[in-house]
Amino acid sequence: MPKEYTFLEMCGIAFIASLILFVLNRIFQLIYLCYLGPPMKQVDFPSKGQWAVVTGCTDGIGKQYAHELASRGCDIVLISRSMEKLEMTADELAKYGVTTKIIQADFTEGDEIYNKIEKELADLEIGTLVNNVGVSYTYPEFFLEIPDRTWYRWSKWSYDIASEMAVTQINPISKKLASRGCDIILISRSMEKLEMTAEELGAKYGVTTKIIQADFTEGEEVYDKIEKEIADLEIGTLVNNVGVSYTYPEFFLEIPDRNKTVDNIIKANCLPVTRMTSIVMPGMKKRGKGVIVNIGSASSMIPSPLLTVYAASKAYVDKFTEGINMEYSKHGIIVQCVLPGFVCSNMSGIRRSSFFAPTAKQFVRSAIRLVGTTSRTNGYLPHALFVKTLNAIYSLTGPFAIWLVTRSMENSRRKALKKKGKLEVSNA
């Protein structure tokens, strides 16, 4: 007599069967795409433009891309550091009968290498670009133990002052920390705004403040200055809040003064989080306590066309925080990434608060309560709801979600350009 299944058992079996089918489908798709895909679907690279550019091309994956592209008939521009290895690679590619061009460039150097590359590539029709260059640790290492972290000089530090200090760059956050009794170090560009904020905090909360004027888009000397200024202070809380964005949503190639703008976004959004952590966290580790709050952005969690560089820079903040939390939470350090949606501020340009765009004060009041409860948060319930809903739509119907977001970004862009046009006309 066949076994009779209850309704619940049948649901369970159906669920497991669909799960198995789903996994098998994904595996089949992978095998099909990697090994069985119809050859006519493959890209004819030379038809996109005769030249292919490969960065970091003298070893490993980059070198193999150069070979594959040459074997498909592309002429190759090879960009790497070592002239010897570049010449060897160019010799190897000769067997495909293609032309090669060598550009010696070290991507860890300054702006001048991009000028040089731009000049060298000016007359070539480039159809393919493989951005392969990349460096990593020489072996897996905890952040504070990375060899040759030149900006970190342990021996200079001393820890005599007992007061808990907070380093911060934002008004509402520093107010909230001051209201909880923290002395505050304020770091920003504008001395006038720094002095106003310090005065306000001192008068209202009776805490000590220290001002450091620094522009994070400048070079190495900024971090040397900050390190010197806070060397004798026992810092309990670090809020990495500094951030810059586009003045309005824009397509990558249309960003005004593109190279400078994107350089500044990367410099102000990625480097300070890393360097400030590097300066402050050794003391926290030594004392076995501390709080580091890194302000990312919800834009790195959702589709963000027309804010591409900003969202990508904030994805760095998110990933950096995740790793630091995994490495150092066991030393008593609370590490948290806060990923806000829209908040009324100079950056967002939003002046009137709403359900989805709170004032900075409302936002920080909500977010600061979550320190120590979770290592990754939107900080504010409506922002979390927005992200979850948009991502649910994205996973159900990707093209619709992308259309929706792109349309809304294009609308903001149009409005901003119209306003800018009007301003320019009235100024003329």
Ligand X SMILES: NC(=O)c1ccc[n+]([C@@H]2O[C@H](COP(=O)([O-])OP(=O)(O)OC[C@H]3O[C@@H](n4cnc5c(N)ncnc54)[C@H](OP(=O)(O)O)[C@@H]3O)[C@@H](O)[C@H]2O)c1
The set of catalytic residues is 310
Q: Of 144 and 360, which CB lies nearer to ligand X in the complex structure?
A: 360
Structure tokens at 275: 């360097």
Tally the C-alpha atoms within 13 A of residue 180's C-alpha that lie toward its C-beta.
Answer: 13
- Footprint (CB under 6 A) of ligand X, residues 246-305: 268, 295, 297
Q: Of 61 and 196, which CB lies nearer to ligand X in the complex structure?
A: 196
* Cα-Cα end-to-end distance for the chain: 91
- Give the C-alpha separation, 370 to 335, whole Å: 11
Please report whether residue 408 would count as binding ligand X according to CB under 6 A: no
Q: How far is the CB of 200 from ligand X (least distance, A)?
A: 13
Please report whether residue 170 would count as binding ligand X according to CB under 6 A: yes
- Give the C-alpha separation, 171 to 119, whole Å: 44
Q: Of 60 and 256, which CB lies nearer to ligand X in the complex structure?
A: 256
Segment interacting with ligand X, rule: CB under 6 A, options 42-50, 71-79, 97-105, 209-217: 209-217
Q: How far is the CB of 209 from ligand X (least distance, A)?
A: 14
Q: Which residues of 161-191 are buried (b: 16+ CB within 10 A; e: fewer)?
A: eeebbbbbbbbbbbbbbbeeebbbbbbbeee
Q: How far is the CB of 342 from ligand X (least distance, A)?
A: 4
x/- track of binding to ligand X for residues 327-366 (CB under 6 A): -------------x-xx-xxxx-----------x------
Q: Of 102 and 347, which CB lies nearer to ligand X in the complex structure?
A: 347
- Give the C-alpha separation, 160 to 389, whole Å: 49
Segment interacting with ligand X, rule: CB under 6 A, options 95-103, 240-248, 328-336, 368-376: 240-248
Binders of ligand X: how many residues, by CB under 6 A?
26
Helix axes 83-93, 60-71, angle to 10 degrees: 30
CA distances from 229 to 202, 268, 329 (A): 19, 20, 26
Binding test (CB under 6 A) with ligand X, winner from 243, 290, 303, 379: 243
Please report whether residue 385 would count as binding ligand X according to CB under 6 A: no
Please report whether residue 244 would count as binding ligand X according to CB under 6 A: yes
For the sheet with 165-168, list strands across it: 209-213, 183-188, 165-168, 235-240, 290-295, 333-338, 376-377
- Of all residues in this chain, which one has the CB nearest to ligand X in the complex? 243
Q: Residues 296, 321: contact at Cβ < 8 Å?
A: yes
Q: Of 302 and 360, which CB lies nearer to ligand X in the complex structure?
A: 360
Number of Cβ atoms within 10 Å of the Cβ of 401:
19
Binding test (CB under 6 A) with ligand X, winner from 18, 25, 115, 190: 190
Please report whether residue 193 would count as binding ligand X according to CB under 6 A: yes
Beta strands in 248-354 (DSSP E): 290-295, 333-338
Q: How far is the CB of 347 from ligand X (least distance, A)?
A: 3
Q: Of 188 and 209, which CB lies nearer to ligand X in the complex structure?
A: 188
Q: Of 66 and 295, which CB lies nearer to ligand X in the complex structure?
A: 295
Q: How far is the CB of 408 from ligand X (least distance, A)?
A: 15
- Give the C-alpha separation, 184 to 187, whole Å: 10
Q: How far is the CB of 171 from ligand X (least distance, A)?
A: 7
- Give the C-alpha separation, 99 to 67, whole Å: 12
Q: How far is the CB of 249 from ligand X (least distance, A)?
A: 12
With a CB cutoff of 8 Å and minimum separation 6, the contacts of 34 are none
Binding site for ligand X (CB under 6 A): 169-170, 188-190, 193, 214-217, 241-245, 268, 295, 297, 340, 342-343, 345-348, 360
